[in-house]
Amino acid sequence: MSEPIRVLVWGENRHEQLEPAVAQRYPDGMHGAIAQGIEANLGSRVRVRTTTLDEPEHGLTEEALADTDVLIWWGHAAHGEVADEVVERAHRHVLEGMGLIVLHSGHWSKLFVKLMGTTCTLRWRTEHDRELVWTVDATHPIAQGIPHPMIIEEDEMYGEQFDIPTPDELIFISSFSGGEVFRSGCTFRRGHGRIFYFRPGDQDFPTYFHEGVRRVISNGVEWAHTVRPERSLPTLLRYETEDFYNGHGYGGALSAEATAAAEQRATEPAGAE
């Protein structure tokens, strides 16, 4: 009935090229496995594409982002190689209303860090910990159909303190065999966009073939898709008294006189002051 949700899965795709074990584990790339999980769950309700770091503009051109309802981000070893200009662009699209799902090591991506404003650091260990993902918010759409707890037999450990702003909604908390805990499913609203961070998933484990993990990501896609009719960036505007609906563009912080004074001051030789 309604249009399918347009999903773009962004994969860093470096471990797959550099580490044979990862390539074997994820023969279609990690982005490929993630995309297949969404298609398996949502079928005709989505149109899923993938792209990677090595594409021109990392595959995140203005056109590609404008054609995306929900962007999914997996990166790890090459956060620093993502061009600042592309990060700015994706950031703007989120604030305009594009949904964003950040997975696992994407916590340290430039895009997520810019949206959060914090360091997004944590404690970690790769040692075959079992992860139990407990649902804290049973009414949340992202938690529907997920066992309580969801068991992931082996995965990398992430532990608190996770340096993020307090989430708008805390959906999942994970524990690990070693005893650590982590806020592993969190939502954030920023501008007109909805963001879902989900912890599980690592290049060293087959996490993105786990049925429950795939279901959570799929639920996240449906949740992050905006209900607003069109995208727009929040903008600063002046409104006259009793005219609530017609804002004027911003004309600068200074009066005409002060602007002239400022300009004059700037052109005077420094010694004149």
Retrieve residue 233's tokens.
């960036």
- Span near its own copies by CB under 8 A; candidates 27-35, 62-70, 205-213, 234-242: 234-242
- Span near its own copies by CB under 8 A; candidates 30-38, 42-50, 169-177, 209-217: 169-177
Q: Please report, as residue ranges, which positions from 65 to 94 form the binding site for its own copies (by CB under 8 A).
A: 76-78
CB 10 within 8 A of CB 59: yes
55: left (phi over 0), alpha (psi -120 to 50) or beta: beta
Q: Please report, as residue ranges, which positions from 126 to 165 form the binding site for its own copies (by CB under 8 A).
A: 127, 129-130, 132, 134-139, 141, 144, 147-149, 151, 159-163, 165
R_g (Cα) of the chain, nearest Å: 22
The least distance separating its own copies from the CB of residue 112, rounded to whole angstroms, comes to 9
The least distance separating its own copies from the CB of residue 168, rounded to whole angstroms, comes to 5
CB 183 within 8 A of CB 200: no
Q: Quick one: 140 or 214, whose CB is closer to its own copies?
A: 140
Q: Quick one: 15 or 214, whose CB is closer to its own copies?
A: 15
Give CA separation, 239 vs 234, 236, 250, in Å.
Answer: 15, 10, 10
Give the residue, chosen from 4, 88, 255, 268, that forms a contact with its own copies under the rule CB under 8 A: 255
Q: Quick one: 64 or 122, whose CB is closer to its own copies?
A: 122
Q: Quick one: 183 or 215, whose CB is closer to its own copies?
A: 183
Residues 260, 266, 272, 273: is their CA dihedral positive or negative?
A: positive
Q: Please report, as residue ranges, which positions from 19 to 38 form the binding site for its own copies (by CB under 8 A).
A: 19
Q: Decide if residue 62 touches its own copies (CB under 8 A).
A: no
Give CA separation, 189 vs 22, 117, 124, 174, 194, in Å.
Answer: 33, 13, 26, 22, 5
